[in-house]
Structure 1
Amino acid sequence: MTEQTNTSSCCGGSSCGSGTTEVIQVQGAAVTTVYKVSGMTCGHCESAVSQEISALEGVSAVKAVAETGEVTVTSAAPLDDAAVRAAVDEAGYELVGQS
């Protein structure tokens, strides 16, 4: 089961209004990790980061919040930090670390 919610389509950085959160859910979950990501400013940013991380093997849910810079990831097992960093980089943002 995949569920996506995205109500913002802007990509104007700091000129964006308050962002929305995109939640992507796929069946099953065991480990929840909160990452800190810099550079997210709007719903488009949240969507880009969520989509890249959700493509990692074992990820069942992703919730990115631009206001706090936090990305909560639920996965079947702990994720490789290098893989998460590469996914965030691919989206155009920087993984600061785990919260």
Structure 2
Amino acid sequence: MKKVIAALALSVFCSSMALAADVITFPAKNGNVAFPHKMHQEALKDCKKCHEKGPGKIEGFGKDYAHKTCKGCHAEMKKGPTKCGECHKK
């Protein structure tokens, strides 16, 4: 029974990854931010790096989260945008 439940949970998790949008656009006063979700999925291969509680919307996601977590990850990996105009496009 435990194996069936584990297989079902894995199936739900994998199917949610397949349904995720390729690019998500976040509106912002100083220019919208286009987030290439599919590219991040393929590069990181570990959804829990951002989605700590599992697939779906990130709890508490907003400007502060993005400026700390996303920008911090880009700086740590020395890859990706870290300056305002690199994310915010008018």
Query: Is the TM-score greater than 0.5?
Result: no
| TM-score, normalising length: structure 2 | 0.33
The structure with the largest helix share of the pair is 2
The structure with the largest strand share of the pair is 1
| TM-score, normalising length: structure 1 | 0.31
Larger Rg: 2
